[in-house]
Amino acid sequence: MNAEFVSELEVPVRRSIRARVVQTLGPLTVAGGLVWALLQPYRVTLLHPGGESFWWLAVEPPLLVVAVGLLFHFVVLPGLLEDLGDR
């Protein structure tokens, strides 16, 4: 194969690997939060509310991790994939 064509093919392949890596970041983060919630359910106060103050209901670490993953996936990722040329 002509070396010129090979180098032209390498760019989309590299771009696609990059796209796949950034696509996994959000779901991985969400999965991390869910696994944490399963391992330490007492860190999710909503599962057993019992007279806790506002902050105990508003700030629940595993849910915050899930929220970060969702935020990245739905707010940052779409534009990034578009700019990478994968959409």
Partner 1 sequence: MQPPAEHVHWLFATGFLIVGLLLFAEAVVGEEVWRRRFWRAYLFPGMLFAMGVLMWPVMTFYTSSTIHMLAHGAWAEVMMFAGAAELALVRGKLRSPLWRLSLALAFAVSGTAFLIHEQNPWLYQRSAFLHHALGWLLVATTIVPFARAFRPRSLALGSAFALVFVTISVLLYSDRDVAPVFGHLAPTAGVPRR
**Residues of the shown chain interacting with partner 1 in the complex, contacts defined by CB under 8 A:** 18, 21-22, 25-26, 29, 42, 54-56, 59, 61, 64-65, 67-68, 71-72, 76, 79-80, 83-84
Q: Which of 59, 60, 57, 62 is nearest to 29 (CA)?
A: 62
Closest distance to partner 1 from the beta carbon of 4 (Å): 23
Sign (positive/negative) of CA torsion 8, 14, 17, 22? negative
Residue 1 or 21: the one with the smaller Cβ distance to partner 1 is 21
29 touches 74 (CB < 8 A): no
For the CB of residue 37, give the shortest distance to partner 1 in the complex, in Å. Answer: 12
Nearer to partner 1, 2 or 75 (CB): 75
CB-CB contact of 84 with 20 (8 Å):
no
Instruction: Give the number of residues written for the chain.
Output: 87
- Closest CB 80 distance from partner 1, rounded Å: 6
**CA 37 remoteness from chain centre:** 16
CB nearer partner 1, residue 3 or residue 59: 59
